[in-house]
Amino acid sequence: MGDRMSKTLTRLDLAEAVHREVGLSRNDSAALVESVLGYISDALVEGETVKLSSFGTFSVRSKSARVGRNPKTGEEVPIEPRRVLSFRPSHLMRDSVAQGNRR
């Protein structure tokens, strides 16, 4: 897959990898990638946690309303309550990234 330090992995790259490694047609590979990403997205929108073993955990958490401050003016501004997405890598992923090791 080459040097990823200056590259962005895209849906097309994922579909091409499925095509090469699994042997599905390019269209079926793209549909599979879209289906998996859609399933993950739908689960997160519903507030579910998505845990991918040896990769990490995506979760949605609620942040309550609070008062923030405009850093330029110092003016206080209200920050509305919101839901935020977080990702916590597994210890295996964290170690792999730290060491620069590929799977």
**103 in the same domain as 60:** yes
Q: Mean pLDDT, 10 residues at a time, over the chain (103 residues)?
A: 70 97 96 98 97 97 95 95 96 93 78
The pTM assigned to this predicted structure is 0.77
**78 in the same domain as 67:** yes
**84 in the same domain as 54:** yes
- The pLDDT assigned to 1 comes to 47
**98 in the same domain as 74:** yes
Supply φ then ψ for residue 54, to 5 degrees. Answer: 70, 5
Residue partners of 88: CB distance under 8 A and separation at least 6: 56, 57, 59
Could you tell me the residue range of the domain that residue 30 belongs to?
Answer: 8-46
- Would residue 32 count as lying in a domain? yes
Overall number of domains in the chain: 2
Instruction: Measure the CA–CA gap between 10 and 45, rounded to whole angstroms.
Output: 21
- Would residue 89 count as lying in a domain? yes
